[in-house]
Amino acid sequence: MKVRGYAALGPGNALEPFEYDLGLLGANAVEIQIEHCGMCHTDLHLVNNDLGFSHYPLVPGHEIIGTVSQVGSAVRSFREGQRVGVGWNSGCCGECEYCAQGEENLCLKWEGTCTHGFGGYASAIRVNRRFVFAIPDGMDSAKTAPLLCGGITVYGAFHAYEVSHAMHVGVVGVGGLGHLALKYARAIGCEVTAFSTSPDKEAETHRFGAHHFVNSQDPSAMGRLNNSLDFILVTVCADINWADYLGVLKPKGKLCIVGVPPSDIRVPAAHLILGQKSVCGNPVGSPSLIREMLEFSARNGIEAQVERMPMDQVNEAPGGGTGSGHPDQLHGGVELSGLPLCVQLDQAYLFEPYRGRRGDGHIREYGVGTRDHTIPLARTGGDHGGFWAAAGSLQWRGGFSSWRGHRGSLRRQGRDFG
């Protein structure tokens, strides 16, 4: 079966249309026609080989939702036409102590959806049934896709460290992971405090479920919280003042990290010793926990806030990119239609052209990211910027003020592209 995907052919490269064959259907395989795929910060790391284990061609995408189109001969638990999801993990050894106790995500021989195969920025994928999940009825596919990595990462942290309704929980950062963490902590029943460097995020954090908001750059506000929280989840990928947050924890409190900061973490040992405090982390979650997370999310109405990029509507984008507006010439043969992406909001993401409008007037590359860090998404042939027109037509809703510095350029780009 032929699959149309988008692959980076080398570290940091733009994603290019890439076709491949899935070969014979394995006995345990579930074949999925992909309808939505979230965009996770880790996809960005993988494209750039920041983590050191990328292989190219690399088709990113591990927050997949789609419909089962075929199942292998040993698969009884899924049927054709069923809506299912796939997250970060796609394989394990099946024999080690972690696999045996249902913690496949900790297996040392783990396999990743887009590290040991071609991922979700594609028309279809085949995944071992053990790592395929039924999506509860009533959940919105686009808003559920990011739960399969972002959601389970924060839900899994609360589960792993036994966060209970009686606890006071802090969430550092209000991006893709952070806004989900606020929702889960609130739904668990915790008292929830959001920490952010941006005071103008306060209203939004309350909407996501925070009882309290603390400007983490205000030393007196941080000081007032000393020895008061049971658990703090750090969702930002930044070097923060670790000592301040350890101070905010009660004795025996845990500082749990799910975002990768650029530098090693340095903490004062006295906090760890005197208060028996600990620093820990969490990687996604096991298949059984993903099932639980999906049920919990459905029951509590938890979904991710996403920006949708409906690629199948790109031809109708206002102005048709550069304004020339010839839908039939879109993408110079690159078929994007039928591959809607939902994009997870994250502190690191921003829609803007991939390193500006590049090229010779015939090839242009488009992507999402920050000024320093971009995931290229598509290269269009001809002088038509249809793909970017779709991105440029997205409305900036504000609130994630770490992007503030970029809003001007975003608006300018919107105008440039009609």
Binding region for Zn ion (CB under 5 A): 40, 42, 92-93, 96, 99, 107, 149
CB of 263 to Zn ion, least distance (A): 21
Tokens of residue 213, six digits: 């908001």
Q: Which residue has the tokens 């915790």?
A: 190
State the nearest-atom distance from the C-beta of 148 to Zn ion, in Å: 8
- Least CB distance to Zn ion at residue 38 (A): 8
| Half-sphere exposure in the Cβ direction for 74 (13 Å, CA) | 8
Residue 175 C-beta: closest distance to Zn ion, Å: 13
Q: How far is the CB of 177 from Zn ion (least distance, A)?
A: 9
DSSP letters for 288-305: HHHHHHHHHHHHHT----
For Zn ion, give the closer residue by CB, 65 or 149. Answer: 149
Residue 91 pairs in a beta bridge with 111
Q: In angstroms, rounded to a whole number, what is the distance separating the alpha carbons of residues 381 and 361?
A: 9
Q: Which of residues 206 and 373 has its CB atom nearest to Zn ion in the complex?
A: 373
94 versus 359: smaller Cβ distance to Zn ion: 94
| Contact (CB, 8 A) for 72 and 28 | yes
Q: Are 112 and 125 in contact (CB under 8 A)?
A: no
Burial class (CB in 10 A: 0-12, 13-18, 19+), 166: exposed
Cβ atoms 216, 199 nearer than 8 A: no
Q: Give the residue carrying structure tokens 């259907």.
A: 25
Contact between 196 and 245 (Cβ < 8 Å):
no
Q: Is there a contact between 37 and 46 (Cβ–Cβ < 8 Å)?
A: no
Peptide bond into 287 cis (omega under 30): no
> Least separation, in Å, of the C-beta of 111 and Zn ion?
10
The number of angstroms, rounded, from the C-alpha of 254 to the middle of its chain's C-alpha atoms is 24
Instruction: Pick the closer one to Zn ion by CB: 48 or 82.
Output: 48
Closest to Zn ion by CB, 202 vs 346, is: 346
Question: How long is the chain?
Answer: 418
CA atoms in the 13 A half-sphere facing the CB of 194: 30
Q: How far is the CB of 104 from Zn ion (least distance, A)?
A: 6
Nearer to Zn ion, 115 or 193 (CB): 115
CB of 199: closest distance to Zn ion in angstroms? 29
Nearer to Zn ion, 38 or 382 (CB): 38
Q: Is 269 exposed, middle or buried (0-12, 13-18, 19+ CB in 10 A)?
A: exposed
Question: Between residues 43 and 352, which has the closer beta carbon with respect to Zn ion?
Answer: 43
